[in-house]
Amino acid sequence: MADLWTLTTGGIDDFDLTVEKAYFATSAEYNNGQTLLLNLVGSTDLENPELRTDFTVSFACGNGWASEDGKTAYHEVTGQNKSFNRNSIVGNFVSRALGELGLADELKGKSELGPLDASIWVGYTFHFNRIPISFGSGLEPKEKLMPTAVSKAGSVAAAAAPAVDTATATTLLEAQVRAVAQQVKAAGGDHQAFVKAATAIDGVIDSPVLEAVINANAGIWAETNG
């Protein structure tokens, strides 16, 4: 039985998320698509069946951040791979992972780009709670979803599938994505809706197709007639 003395925030709270995909992208639902987000996508233990798969927790990267391929982030003002601001939402997430969650040694050995490489988060199961986080001196703390515990996701043995060469697999994946782009445009959706639908397709985030999905001006979305 749940502890009824533990009061809730009213939002989605107190759940496990096993990260199966991770990518950088903007969303029209956050700051009108002007802010880059780190998106962690996976399965949860939430009671609502509709929220148990392909659930996304996002962390805003702050001003000046961009991603060309969805896999890595860079600071577009300086053009350099500088660090995230510790007082940003994603900075708070990274700080908790390195500190309270004890992942510093493991994470720092995963990628030379550190937290600018979205793939380093795949495979972890985070427990999320809404907790107050600091945005710097003189600013009021605000409640945000943050990990309060972590474990490695268990490996699941998969049935062997027929081998498909990389070029063929990419071609098949791109065809699926282009079909999704047509569907979203026909329904009157925008590029952000297309990104959300396309990245939900298995294999897109880990393929070369992701760059063509993220690029609104010269990618699949721009090439698709509504």
User: What's the Rg (C-alpha) of the chain?
Assistant: 18
| Per-residue pLDDT in tens (0 to 9) along the chain, 226 residues | 445 665 555 678 899 999 999 999 998 889 988 999 999 999 999 999 999 999 999 999 998 999 988 999 998 876 665 789 988 999 999 999 999 999 999 999 999 999 999 999 999 999 999 988 887 667 788 889 999 999 875 443 333 344 446 676 777 778 888 888 888 888 888 888 888 888 888 888 878 888 888 888 878 888 887 6
- Structure tokens, 15: 């759940």
Phi-psi region of 83 (alpha: psi -120 to 50; beta: other; left: phi over 0): beta
- Provide the 8-state DSSP code for 199: T
The one-letter code for the residue type at 18 is T
Residue-range domain boundaries for the chain: 15-152, 166-223
Residue 183: Cβ-neighbour burial (10 angstroms; 0-12, 13-18, 19+): middle
What pTM did the predictor assign?
0.72
Query: Distance between CA 180 and CA 220 in Å, rounded?
Result: 10
CB 10 within 8 A of CB 57: no
Query: Distance between CA 195 and CA 71 in Å, rounded?
Result: 13
Query: Distance between CA 41 and CA 205 in Å, rounded?
Result: 11
